[in-house]
């Protein structure tokens, strides 16, 4: 037996020695909220919303932001380019299939950024090679080499993904990974594209890659897991235990079908069980709640109360317990500090006597950069809220700003509304302003909101279909601001409208008008 045949054995010895070292390893967090997350059915973000999320991801201090898939549309290209040019800190990554046009487009989008990365991928399972690509294994191998080499001509950091790796013949997977490394890939990603893997099996696959491929220790081995069977976090964490040093994940587990690995879950697992995993991340975990709320608000995906880490009940058992009791009991029931994820009782910060300066200062602390023009409008809303509520909390401000800042140009705005509920028939009188004119309509409906929407429809003449509607209290108490979210469809386009008010019907009507404005703006 020559040295060649003995290589896997030698690598196994090296691999085991490495694992015994127990040196804390940094796990890179590759966020794909804006790419895989945005592919969630029903989630659609415009460029401004994507930029806002990217800025927050930079604050969260993720290592890589996958900003989009430039070849997929002109809009996506521009959005990747804008993020690449403006967002500082993380590496900005663009996705490309293993074909020339995709890679060129990704390279162009990243042209002016400081830390670019191209992520190129190709299916490697026989199901994908024969079923989708209609190619042979040899052809796919060649495509992988060419893709990595071309990407490499645009930037140093190149990630190669063997799509459907968990269902790929391992011997062939090792071969593909080997050639990708030899062609210059700096990151190799092993996706469980269809959410098929089982943790034990998946970590064994990672181990086998270390043993059967040379040079894996010189690059970053990444995993990308989907949650079809609810195993995404388990699979990603067991891969880390086996030696992977990068996790691809998305905030609030956004992603295709059942979603991607939840960023908050893997990051807090590594923070909480770093002792066992010998690992850490550089994520500023105190920004997790802010990021989660932002993503939920902009995508319109409401977070279930029992969701790990970011659900409203995730730390709820401690509420109401006296501080002293919490301190004594905390470790009995809590494995994480609520403060570590950025949870704290909201503070009373502003009142009707607070000036524009105080408002702008607090907004900038909350991460909003606003123009003088916007400040004027936000201040007006703020005053009317402060009059009604007396105390204005951070959550209220976020709702007000969200309403103002992300609004499409207001073709129509609510001038007045009067709703008469109850039996026999709820009636709404609506006045909408368009430019200098105010249009007024009256309509009946099945409920007060239905009546209001019908009156709005009469004025705008836009035909829309309401797909989804939800209402949340931004703060606690009877006088809380209600934030309404509607998802509507018109001519095949889906948009999300938001509105905030201390009156829930008014918040809902505003959300509905906001959605109509977006539809009109998109035309």
Positions touching Zn ion (CB under 5 A) are: 36
Give the residue with the Cβ less far from Zn ion, 161 or 285.
161
Tell the smallest beta-carbon distance from residue 450 to Zn ion (Å).
39
Q: Find out whether 516 and 508 touch, Cβ atoms under 8 Å.
A: no
Q: Say how many C-beta atoms besides its own lie within 10 A of residue 66's C-beta.
A: 28
Q: What is the DSSP string of 338-385?
A: GGGGT--PPPEEE-TT--HHHHHHHHHHTT----HHHHHHHHHHHHHH
Tell the smallest beta-carbon distance from residue 283 to Zn ion (Å).
20
Residue showing the smallest CB distance to Zn ion in the complex? 36
Give the residue with the Cβ less far from Zn ion, 65 or 449.
65
Give the residue with the Cβ less far from Zn ion, 36 or 287.
36
**220 in helix, strand or coil?**
strand
Give the residue with the Cβ less far from Zn ion, 250 or 283.
250
Give the residue with the Cβ less far from Zn ion, 31 or 36.
36
Q: Find out whether 482 and 353 touch, Cβ atoms under 8 Å.
A: no
* 307 beta partners: none
> How far apart are the C-alpha atoms of 284 and 307, rounded to whole Å?
20
Give the residue with the Cβ less far from Zn ion, 223 or 419.
223
Tell the smallest beta-carbon distance from residue 404 to Zn ion (Å).
34
> How far apart are the C-alpha atoms of 86 and 106, rounded to whole Å?
16
Tokens of 153: 């001509």
Tell the smallest beta-carbon distance from residue 99 to Zn ion (Å).
19
Tell the smallest beta-carbon distance from residue 488 to Zn ion (Å).
27
Q: Find out whether 502 and 482 touch, Cβ atoms under 8 Å.
A: yes
Q: What is the DSSP string of 443-480?
A: EE-SSHHHHHHHHHHHHH----EEEEEEEEESSSSTTP
Give the residue with the Cβ less far from Zn ion, 41 or 435.
41
Tell the smallest beta-carbon distance from residue 295 to Zn ion (Å).
16
Tell the smallest beta-carbon distance from residue 191 to Zn ion (Å).
6
Q: Find out whether 43 and 250 touch, Cβ atoms under 8 Å.
A: no
Give the residue with the Cβ less far from Zn ion, 63 or 66.
66
> How far apart are the C-alpha atoms of 2 and 235, rounded to whole Å?
36
Radius of gyration of the chain (CA): 26
Give the residue with the Cβ less far from Zn ion, 261 or 483.
261
> How far apart are the C-alpha atoms of 236 and 250, rounded to whole Å?
12
Tell the smallest beta-carbon distance from residue 183 to Zn ion (Å).
23
Q: Which helix (H) or strand (E) holds 481?
A: none
Phi–psi pair at 176, nearest 5 degrees: -65, -45
Cis peptide before 424 (omega within 30 of 0): yes
Q: Find out whether 216 and 205 touch, Cβ atoms under 8 Å.
A: no
Give the residue with the Cβ less far from Zn ion, 36 or 264.
36
Tell the smallest beta-carbon distance from residue 207 to Zn ion (Å).
23
Tell the smallest beta-carbon distance from residue 84 to Zn ion (Å).
21
Q: Say how many C-beta atoms besides its own lie within 10 A of residue 101's C-beta.
A: 10
């Amino acid at each position: 037996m020559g040295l060649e045949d003995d290589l896997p054995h030698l690598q196994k010895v090296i691999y085991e020695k490495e694992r015994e070292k127990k040196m804390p390893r940094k796990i890179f967090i590759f966020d794909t909220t804006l790419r895989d997350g945005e592919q969630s059915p029903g989630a659609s973000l415009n460029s401004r919303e994507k930029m806002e999320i990217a800025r927050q991801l930079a604050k969260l201090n993720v290592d890589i932001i996958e900003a989009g898939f430039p070849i997929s549309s002109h809009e996506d290209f521009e959005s990747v380019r804008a993020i690449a040019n403006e967002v500082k800190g993380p590496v900005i990554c663009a996705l490309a299939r293993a074909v020339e046009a995709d890679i060129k487009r990704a390279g162009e989008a990243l042209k002016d950024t400081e830390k670019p990365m191209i992520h190129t991928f190709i299916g490697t399972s026989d199901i994908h090679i024969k079923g989708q690509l209609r190619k042979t294994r040899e052809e796919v191998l060649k495509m992988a080499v060419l893709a990595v080499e071309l990407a490499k001509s645009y930037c140093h950091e190149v990630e190669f993904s063997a799509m459907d790796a968990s269902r790929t013949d391992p011997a062939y997977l090792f071969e593909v990974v080997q050639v990708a490394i030899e062609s210059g890939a700096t990151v190799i990603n092993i996706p469980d594209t269809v959410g098929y893997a089982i943790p034990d099996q998946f970590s064994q696959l990672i181990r086998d890659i270390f043993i059967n491929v040379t040079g894996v220790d010189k690059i970053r081995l990444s995993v990308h897991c989907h949650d079809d069977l609810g195993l995404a976090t388990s699979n990603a964490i067991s891969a880390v235990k086996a030696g992977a040093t990068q996790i691809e994940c998305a905030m609030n587990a956004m992603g295709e079908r059942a979603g991607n690995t939840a960023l908050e879950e893997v990051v807090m697992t590594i923070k909480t069980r770093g002792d066992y995993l010998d690992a850490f991340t550089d994520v500023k975990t105190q920004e997790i709640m802010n990021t989660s709320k932002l993503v939920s608000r902009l995508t319109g995906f409401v977070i279930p109360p029992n969701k790990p880490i970011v659900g409203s009940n995730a730390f709820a058992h401690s509420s109401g317990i006296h501080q002293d009791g919490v301190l004594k009991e905390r470790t009995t029931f809590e494995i994480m500090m609520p403060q570590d994820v950025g949870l704290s009782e909201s503070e009373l910060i502003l009142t009707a006597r607070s000036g524009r300066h105080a408002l702008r200062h607090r907004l900038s602390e909350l991460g909003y950069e606003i123009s003088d023009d916007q400040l004027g409008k936000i201040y007006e809303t703020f005053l009317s809220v402060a009059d009604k509520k007396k105390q204005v909390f951070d959550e209220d401000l976020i709702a007000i700003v969200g309403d103002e800042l992300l609004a499409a140009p207001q073709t129509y705005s609510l001038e007045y509304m009067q709703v008469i509920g109850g039996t026999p028939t709820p009636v709404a009188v609506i006045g909408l302003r368009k430019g200098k004119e105010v249009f007024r309509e009256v309509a009946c409906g099945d409920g007060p909101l239905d009546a209001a929407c019908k009156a709005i429809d009469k004025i705008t003449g836009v035909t829309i279909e309401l797909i989804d509607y939800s209402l949340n209290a931004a703060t606690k108490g009877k006088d809380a601001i209600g934030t309404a979210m509607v998802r509507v469809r018109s001519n095949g386009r889906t948009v999300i409208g938001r509105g905030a008010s201390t009156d829930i019907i008014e918040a809902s009507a505003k959300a509905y008008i906001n959605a109509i404005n977006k539809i009109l703006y998109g035309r």
